[in-house]
Structure 1
Amino acid sequence: MTYQSASEQFAAKIPARGMSISSAPFLTARNALGQLETIFRSIGAAIVGSTNSNARVNRVEALRAKSDDELARMGLKRDDIVNHVFNDLYYS
């Protein structure tokens, strides 16, 4: 009967000292931090996007509350309010 050594038992080998661990099947601290950074950037972008969107909706509501005469002085028609507020998103 033959016995396997500890290194022969496991398919994943721990790299020897001084060797690169980039091929190891586990996360390095740098990779983990990079993934966390990506997650937090995505969350931040979503928060900023919703805040910006909310500000635009508030701007549309404020313009809709104005009279036709006030809008005319601003050079706007009531039908053009949404296009005016969101113009940079659609035509940039």
Structure 2
Amino acid sequence: MSIAATTSTSTSIGHSVGNFFEGILNFLVRIAESNGRMKAVERLNAMSDAELAARGLQREDIVRHVFRDMFYV
């Protein structure tokens, strides 16, 4: 009985291109997550509904509230 093992160190062009675009996407996500507005959304999202009500907000209005000076929604 014999066992044959093959290993390939070459990568396909499609895989390389996919890795390139995945890197760009990860970079853009990191930029968005480091944005102060996104941190404010996360902070408000972590609050309870009672805490949001004390601030005059509902959960579905958090993004509209944080970005109110940038977008008219």
Number of residue pairs matched by the alignment: 41
Match of 2:41 among 50, 60, 64: 60
* Over 6 Å off, 4+ runs: none
Q: Summarize the alignment of residues 19-30 of structure 1 with structure 2, pairs less than 5 Å apart.
A: none
Name the SS of the counterpart of 2:70 in structure 1.
helix
How far residue 58 of structure 1 moved from its aligned partner, in angstroms, is: 0.2
CA RMSD of aligned residues (A): 1.8
Identical aligned residues as a percent: 56
How far residue 87 of structure 1 moved from its aligned partner, in angstroms, is: 0.4
The CA deviation string for residues 39-73 of structure 1, in whole angstroms up to 9 with x for no partner, is: xxxxxxxxxxx68x700000000000000000000
Name the SS of the counterpart of 1:90 in structure 2.
coil
Match of 1:77 among 58, 63, 69: 58
Match of 1:86 among 42, 50, 67: 67
> Which structure has the larger Rg?
1
Alignment-mate amino acid for residue 59 of structure 1: A
Rounded to whole Å, the distance in 1 between the matches of 2:58 and 2:49 is 7
Higher relative contact order (CA 8 A, sep 6+): 2
